[in-house]
Structure formats: C-alpha cells, structure tokens
Chain A
Amino acid sequence: MSFSPDDVKRIARLARIETSDAEAQATQAQLNSIFDLIATMQAVDTAGIAPMAHAQEVYQRLREDVVSETDHHTAFQAIAPAVENSLYLVPKVIE
C-alpha cells in the first residue's frame, strides 16, 4: 500500500476535511507507515471465520411505541453556533 498526496486529498475530501498540499504531503508518509503496519494482517488465512462486529451478542431491544422524550430544543439550541426561530442556520443550499 502506498498513498500519494492526491490519494490523501481524495480521502480527506470523502471525510470533509480541507487539506492543503503541504498537509497532504506530510500525512502521506504517516499513512504509508500506518498501512505498512496494518498490512501484516493481510497474510492471515481467515477463510470460514465469521466476522466479529461486537464483543457481546446483543440485539436491538424493542420497546412500546410511546413518547419517551420531552422537548429540550431550547437547551440544545442554546449551544448551537447559529440559530434563528428554532432553526439551525447554515449557508444557503437551495437558491
């Protein structure tokens, strides 16, 4: 595995993190050494092994379809960067 600075910028784009050319350059070397470490698991034969997603075999619980939450929007929106009329403000998306 070997990342180019362009690869880094492409992944950063997927993750919505603005990345300059200089940052991509610096990150590239670090990601390459991390993926060299990760590559050591590629040689393991895992045919027939069931993937383990979780430590405990737990399933989503069902509950009665009743209201369990009360309205906290004033408290929650009090800490938002920009709010007006109980709406979160962001740059215009639709002209």
Chain B
Amino acid sequence: MSATSLSALAAQLAAGQVSSRELAQQYLDRIAALNPALNAFITVDAEKTLAEAAVADALRATGRAGPLTGVPIAHKDIFCTDGWLTTCGSKMLHNFVAPYDAHVIQQFKAAGMPSLGKTNMDEFAMGSSNETSYFGAVKNPWNPAYVPGGSSGGAAACVAARMAPAATGTDTGGSIRQPAALCGITGLKPTYGLVSRYGMIAFASSLDQAGPMAPSAEDCALLLNVMTGFDPRDSTSLEREKEDYTRDLNQPLAGLRVGLPKEFFAEGLNNEVAAAVDAAVAELKKLGATTVEISLANSKLAIPVYYVLAPAEASSNLSRFDGVRYGYRAPEYGNLDDMYCKTRAQGFGAEVKRRILIGAYVLSHGYYDAYYLQAQKIRRLIADDFNEAFKVCDVILGPTAPGTAFKLGEKSDDPVEMYLNDLYTIPANLAGLPGMSLPCGFDAKGLPIGLQLVGNYFSEAKMLNVAHQYQRATDWHSRQPEGLL
C-alpha cells in the first residue's frame, strides 16, 4: 500500500479520490489475504464494515465530514462493540455479542470512522506476547516465527502489516507500548483518566488506559483528538477542556530537556536496543535537545508492585464472570457453587487463573498489609521519583522493552521471564503518566526496536511533537515488513 498516513487518507477522501467504501474494501482485501497467516483479527465482518463506510460517505456527501471521517480503524477486542462479538481474547467471552458500545467506540463512530474488525489480544489483556489468547497467538509481521508483543498484539501486528491504517489499544502495564515496539509502530498510552474506560473490559481499573496505535506520532495525535473527553459513566474520567493534540506538532525542539534515567540503561538491556536508543538520543540532540541524567531509583520495584496491585484488581474485576449473565457456562455442574467453579475453571486460561490466584491471595485476611498496602506505598515512591525528575527535564527517554521480539513459545512456560518484558513500561502506569513508543531502528535479525518517551501529566501534545520531530528526521516509522504482499 502506498499512502497510509491518516492525514493522507483523509485528504484523498476529502478530494473525492476514493470513497470510504472503496478504502474499507481495500483494507478488507488485505486483511483477507494476510490474516490467515498473522491471526491479528478475531472478528472481521465485511458487511458491517462496509455499512459503516457507507454512513461515512453519506456524512461527507451532506457536508458533515470531520477530519477523519471515512478513515477505517481496527479495534482491540477489549472494547464492547454493539452487535459485534467482543471476546477479550477469552473462552469466557467466546460467544459474547456486546449489547452496547464502549465510549471509545462511540467516539470513533461519531467521528465517522468505520471499524475494520476486532483485533486479537492476550486473554483479558494479561500477557506480553499475545500467546495467552484463546484464539491463538498473533504472529509478528516482521518475522512470523516471533511474537508481536502484547497484550495489544493483534492491533500492533495489523498496523505493522498495513491491514489497518490505525488501531485502538489498551495499556495496563505496557500493552500498547511493548507491542508497538516489537512491531515497529507508534503507540501512546495517555495520562490516566483522559480516555473513558466505559465499556472497556476491566483488568486493573486503577491502571487501565486506552490509546492509539498507528505508524506515526502525527497519526496518534489525530486519533487522540477523537478518543479523549470527559465521560460521566467512568468515575475516573477527568473533567478537562478538550485539547487539540496536533497543536504543537511543528514546534522546534531547541531547548528541550530530555531526561535519561540511569536505571533504564543498566544491566538487562540488550546491546542492540541500547545502541539504537543512544542513536536516537544523538538525533534529538542534533534537533536542539539537551540531555540530563536522572534517577528513577524505585522503578526497579515496579514489577513486584505491579504483580501485587494488578492481580488484586483483576481478581475483583473478573469475579463478574460466573456463567450467570453472559458468556461461557460449563455444560455440566451440580449446585450453584459448582457451576461457578467449573465455569471459571473451564472459561479462563492458565495465565488469567494465575493472576486471579495471586490477587485473591494478596487481598486475603492476614496478607493485605504485607502485600497490597506495601505495594500501594511503593507505588507512591515510584510516582514521587517521576515528580522529582520532571523538575529537571521535559520528557523522559529510554528503551520501551529490554529486547526485541522473541520467538513464539520461548518464554511462554516461564511467567516471571515474561513479566520482565514490562520492566520499563510499568512505572508510567503506576504513576498514571503518559508514555509512548516509537520505532528507532532494527536489530541484526531485522526486528524493530522501540524508543520510549514518558511525559509529565497531560503533556501528550509535547511528547507527540518530540516524536514527530524525530520522525521527520528519520524513516524508521515508515519502514514496512517485506515479503507480505
């Protein structure tokens, strides 16, 4: 595919060079050709997509088109979508056709952006490789023997393979940024509270945040304009003025202070990733930025803290899946309690069960203070480190993940090894800060490397400009995997 930037597609639609139906059909054709090998989508429904595209064309014909009307987008299968199968990657919801739209889905519908389908993901967003999906692993478009990352692995893979011009994702501990890094695309996790969680199937409610995934930072800025906004149906949605996230996209970087956390460049970081990140730092310096070494001393505790807090919240959130009101119910059972126990034993996969058990344990009588409360206290220490750092820098830079994509099956038997993938992404979730990943190179195997930016609260426009200026000076984000079609 040639032009794939959202602004280019929008310009073609506005000029009448292509209709939304034609554009949607082009992407549907590409999905039909590539999805059997990549497994990036759980549900594709061409009829529904084309009907939504026809609505977009009608909006345009009557002069009511917005900036992205007619541009199609793929949605992570964690967002409830009225009339569409919404599985969250789980057998528990393998038959769940959502009876309403998530806020994020409503926003994209209102913008006139047709849905290309629902993307594959780790079960209930618990995973860093997409291998925990009940619907099978997603393959990395750069090399199908490798994982795409997770949990928004289908979203990242479909954008990398240009099966969709953009996708939605969610990020609880790195689930937008890590797959974006492993698939060579750009992804942003906004400040906690900017995007409504209404209708987004909950994993860890104090950490979950939806965000855009697309080839470039400019694309992400346009998508963020659609996604954000106050929603009274989410009790943590922030009442703020709507921002234009493209407003800073042409600011020079002169005087930008980039903080380099020494802990993110220490032991455990792959050499090729370190070299690519160093080269990106050099590029930003050429554009006028200065660097300052900072310390996020407590970030080394982010993984243990996360694996107390996130499972604790998950064990509570996932108690709703009991086989009574929706989703899977065990075919055979005795009494009510037996129905719950068998439904949950059969409906949840191994990783989800593990996390529910961790959560049930750390919240149980006698252990609450030692685990849950201690983790919440260290969460504050981690957030305080960031507050200190932002006194001396405007944006924090480091690797998104400690390495590039790994082989399918390589880490799936060792949960702890898998958890370490999110070493650099979890701290921003715990603090509630915005973070993004953008491509900054390739390793010797030809697999993409991700650069992470973490900004202060509500500094998305500034971060997006840093990424945009870097992407104007480099072409990593426009590289596409070869040999697909």
Q: Which residues of A contact B (CB under 8 A)?
A: 8, 11-12, 14-19, 27, 30-31, 33-42, 44, 46, 49-56, 58, 60-61, 63, 72, 75-76, 78-82, 88, 90-93
Contact = CB atoms under 8 A, between A and B. Distances in A.
B304 interface: yes
Contacts of B95: 79
Most-contacted residue by chain B among A58, A63, A88, A92 (CB, 10 A): A58
B373 interface: yes
A37 B339 contact: no
B383 A52 contact: yes
B357 interface: yes
Given A17-B353, A72-B99, A46 B345 contact: no
Interface residues of B, number: 72
Most-contacted residue by chain A among B357, B370, B379 (CB, 10 A): B357
Nearest to B337: A16
B322 A16 contact: yes
Interface stretch (B23-31, B46-54, B327-335, B438-446): B327-335
Nearest to A3: B361
Interface in B36-50: none
B304 A40 contact: yes
A40 B323 CA distance: 37
Interface stretch (B133-141, B146-154, B232-240): B232-240
What secondary structure prevails in chain A residues at the interface with B? loop
Contacts of A80: 324-326
A77 B195 CA distance: 29
B378 interface: yes
A49 B381 contact: yes
B324 A90 contact: yes
25 contacts: A15-B357, A15-B360, A16-B341, A30-B415, A31-B361, A33-B415, A34-B415, A37-B419, A38-B307, A44-B378, A49-B380, A52-B380, A55-B191, A55-B192, A55-B193, A55-B431, A55-B432, A56-B236, A58-B193, A60-B235, A76-B325, A81-B323, A81-B326, A90-B324, A90-B339
Contacts of B55: none
Contacts of B97: 79
Contacts of A61: 232, 235
Given A46-B377, A46-B381, A52-B377, A37 B304 contact: yes
Given A11-B364, A79-B326, A82-B329, A37 B341 contact: no
B479 interface: no
Given A42-B374, A56-B236, A91-B336, A14 B360 contact: yes
Interface string B355-384: 011111100100000110111111111010
Contact of B376 (A31, A52, A78): A52
For the complex of A and B, list the 8 residue pairs with the smallest distance between their C-beta atoms, beginning with the closest. A55-B432, A51-B376, A46-B377, A52-B380, A18-B345, A55-B192, A81-B329, A18-B341
A60 to B, nearest CB: 6
Contact of B357 (A12, A46, A54, A91): A12
Contacts of B342: 18
Nearest to A33: B416
B357 A17 contact: yes
B333 to A, nearest CB: 7
B380 to A, nearest CB: 4
A34 B307 contact: yes
A14 B356 CA distance: 10
A26 to B, nearest CB: 9
Contacts of A88: 324-325
Nearest to B206: A54
B348 interface: yes
B221 interface: no
A18 to B, nearest CB: 4
Contacts of B415: 30, 33-34
B374 A17 contact: no
A51 B357 contact: no
Nearest to B315: A15
B96 interface: yes
A51 B236 contact: no
B80 to A, nearest CB: 11
Interface in B288-310: 298, 301, 303-305, 307-308
B204 to A, nearest CB: 11
B162 interface: no
Interface in B434-472: none
Contacts of A72: 99-100
